[in-house]
Amino acid sequence: MTATDSHQWVLPTVVEFQPLKEIDLPLPLRAMLRRRGFDRAEVEELIHPQELPDPCNDFPDLERAVERVCQACAEEESLAVCGDYDADGMTSTALLLRAFKPLGARPKAAIPSRMDEGYGLNPAMVNRLHAEGIRLLVTVDNGVAAREALERAKELEMDVIVTDHHTIPVDRPPMTALLHPATTPEGSPYRGLAGVGLAYVLAIRVAQQLDRLDSVQVARDLFCIGTVADMAPLTGANRRWLLEGLGSLHRSEAEGIKALQRLAGLGDRRLNADDIGFQLAPRINAVGRLGDPALVVDLLTESDPAQAMALARRCNDYNRQRRELCDAIEAEAIALLEAEQVDCIPPFLLLAQSHWHHGVIGIVAARLMERYHRPVALLAGDGAGQMRASARSPQGFAIDQALNECSDLLLRFGGHPAAGGFTIAAQHVHALHERLNDLAQPWLEQQGMGRPLRPDACLRLNEVNWDLWSAIEQLQPFGIGHSAPLFWSRACRVKDWRILNGGHLTLTLAQDETERRAIAWRSAPLQPMPELVDVAYELNVNLWKGERRLQLNLKALRGHQGGSRIRRGNRQYEVCLETPSEELINFSLCNSSSDVLKAHWSEDGGVDSSDKRAGHPQIQTLLWEAALSLGLTP
């Protein structure tokens, strides 16, 4: 959100008058679920997920992998868990270390350095581990595309179990076993597992095989943290295990997790996905971005409370450093952009500074993408005349495809539609920017300048209450594939507003006799601030000095204009509220020919009109859209 709100408000679609009547949830939530395509059975599954099928029936190589790990446990064999330096990879590594060691194996962590070695298993690691006498490698959150490393392992007669959720190459490299969501049947509940979910499947199965479930006591806790941190879809197995795990995560037996929770100020209350995503995960990810990921693995496997707290404090220090670096780079990037592009912001934002830190430029690129609603790439020096970049892109512009079309200019590249990375010779940066601008311009023209904003349902402020919050809690956890409800409220009076330390905007909003506190993080006020506003927001609970208050976390704010406009193809209609009667709210619909259709709304019967034209199904839908645009119906 900015001082001149740049969102394109796309209001919800019309649903039946009383959607999902048999579900015991408030009408706005039922309307939201219907708009998201849920039927009754799917809502029940969302709230009470069913038992999962035997993973051995869904993962073709699972039994082979379990057999090889059980052999290592029986023979007290040394093995290496080869992870990644993000939260998913580090929690996966810690999970398998904690699971395999009590079973007799002698596991060690092997995670490459972000700065020195880059991502994933590499031939140098394989050679080093082989020289140490290791003959079994288990990769977590990487490895499926590490062809050179896997071929080297085969030459050295090393067994490799790959657990990974990244794209499987068409020509699959050699490996002993592969645990990958794409190898499961279509529709499998295991399709959305991140790396830590695959590690969890393997660990649980090995523990079951050896009748030692005590070895995986904290595996569920690590699964929860890694899954949320990696923004895995919260559906299927992820949802079921997360629902179960969140109930006890605050009482974890892992000393490292306890220490992180204490430093984050989470107390001893039950945790939710936001607590992981905004408090625990950043403290873990910061280490992988700026330091040695072994610190996190040590923290998550430490059994001594004092030593765990000392390690957690180091993670906390890295997180503070990460925040400071991000803020400084963001400020510098904005200054560079707005100094060089006073009149016209380019379709693709590409900025390069040799002194920027590789570990955090992806975070800053995501912030700039949100601010300017354009694809962004930030480049930092990589030595020898090369630059390394992190790129982020809004929905609809596939950054991986764009990089592929520029492959002749790049030394290395990869990613997916929303995020990517590449390395480029410094002399080719200008040519790359020109080509990326050409690729982004048609997309920008088609989707418009504003960021699409799609609220799920409309609320009156008096509907923002603890009963609604209790119902929302039934639908948690929220995340990718099941996002938190985005509500909107119309014609809210701004009673007061001010800017907090850190540049956050706080407001008191009122409708009739109801007041609610709202906050917009990292946002400036509208200039001037209107007396009446429309707001889009997520709802959460603010804990301050022991007091719990409902709070509106604003995602967008715009001046209220009384009526509204709706579009049907190339046609535009003006919708106006008229003087209400005691029981009805009257409104009118006017087309470009000044032809007016009058209607009224009642909470008991919905939309009605005495105009004969209102009997036509298309006109009925149009009247419902008009009522929805006025906030008369959720």
Task: Please give the helix or strand (H or E) that residue 588 lies within, else none.
Answer: strand 585-590
* pLDDT for residue 116: 63
> Which residue did the predictor score with more confidence, 220 or 338?
220
Q: 453 pLDDT exceeds 50?
A: yes
DSSP single-letter state for residue 4: S
* pLDDT for residue 548: 86
> Which residue did the predictor score with more confidence, 269 or 509?
509
pTM of the model: 0.85
Q: 3 pLDDT exceeds 50?
A: no
* Among 152-156, 214-218, 498-502, the least confident range: 498-502
Q: Which residue has the tokens 């695959």?
A: 198
Helix, strand, coil shares, percent, the chain, to 5: 40, 25, 35
Compute the average pLDDT of residues 121-130.
94
* pLDDT for residue 450: 66
- Average pLDDT, whole number, for the chain? 90
Residue 211 makes CB contacts below 8 A (sequence gap 6+) with none
Q: Where are the alpha helices (DSSP H) in 377-458?
A: 399-405, 429-447
* pLDDT for residue 117: 61
Q: Tokens for 401, please give them.
A: 């495809």
> Which residue did the predictor score with more confidence, 71 or 145?
71
Write out the residue limits of the CATH 2.40.50.460 domain(s) in the chain. Answer: 7-14+456-559
For the CA atoms of the chain, what is the radius of gyration? 27
Residue 356 three-state SS? coil
> Which residue did the predictor score with more confidence, 343 or 545?
545
Q: 142 pLDDT exceeds 80?
A: yes
> Which residue did the predictor score with more confidence, 569 or 266?
266
* pLDDT for residue 610: 83
**At the top level of CATH, which class does the domain 7-14+456-559 belong to?**
mainly beta
Distances (CA, A) of 539 to 424, 451, 485: 43, 21, 8
Compute the average pLDDT of residues 365-388.
92
Classify domain 341-442 by CATH number.
3.10.310.30
Residue 84 makes CB contacts below 8 A (sequence gap 6+) with 90, 92, 111, 112, 119, 120, 140, 141, 142, 195, 288
* pLDDT for residue 63: 98
> Which residue did the predictor score with more confidence, 558 or 105?
105
* pLDDT for residue 592: 81
High-pLDDT (> 70) share of the chain, %: 96
Instruction: Tell me the one-letter amino acid at 597.
Output: L
Give the model's confidence band at 590: pLDDT under 50 very low, under 70 low, under 90 confident, else very high.
confident
Give CA–CA dist 390/332, Å, rounded.
16
Q: 321 pLDDT exceeds 90?
A: yes
Give the model's confidence band at 6: pLDDT under 50 very low, under 70 low, under 90 confident, else very high.
low
Task: Please give the helix or strand (H or E) that residue 98 lies within, else none.
Answer: helix 87-100
Q: Are residues 224 and 244 in contact, defined by beta-carbon separation less than 8 angstroms?
A: no
**At the top level of CATH, which class does the domain 55-250 belong to?**
alpha beta
High-pLDDT (> 90) share of the chain, %: 65
Compute the average pLDDT of residues 122-129.
94
Compute the average pLDDT of residues 255-259.
97
Do you find a cis peptide bond into 477, omega within 30 degrees of 0? yes
* pLDDT for residue 568: 75
> Which residue did the predictor score with more confidence, 204 or 576?
204
Q: Give the strand pairing for 596-602 and 177-179.
A: unpaired
| 177-193 pLDDT, tens digit each | 999 999 999 999 999 99
* Among 203-217, 318-332, 604-618, the least confident range: 604-618
Q: 582 pLDDT exceeds 60?
A: no
Give CA–CA dist 37/27, Å, rounded.
15
Instruction: Tell me the one-letter amino acid at 438.
Output: D
Beta strands in 449-563 (DSSP E): 451-453, 457-458, 487-500, 504-511, 514-520, 532-544, 547-559
Compute the average pLDDT of residues 461-486.
93
Give the model's confidence band at 599: pLDDT under 50 very low, under 70 low, under 90 confident, else very high.
confident
Compute the average pLDDT of residues 188-208.
97
Residue 162 makes CB contacts below 8 A (sequence gap 6+) with 139, 143, 144, 150, 175, 177, 178, 179, 180
Compute the average pLDDT of residues 111-118.
68
Q: Are residues 595 and 573 in contact, defined by beta-carbon separation less than 8 angstroms?
A: no
| 601-614 pLDDT, tens digit each | 887 778 888 888 88
Beta strands in 90-163 (DSSP E): 106-110, 136-140, 159-163
* pLDDT for residue 2: 45
Q: 391 pLDDT exceeds 80?
A: yes
> Which residue did the predictor score with more confidence, 561 or 550?
550
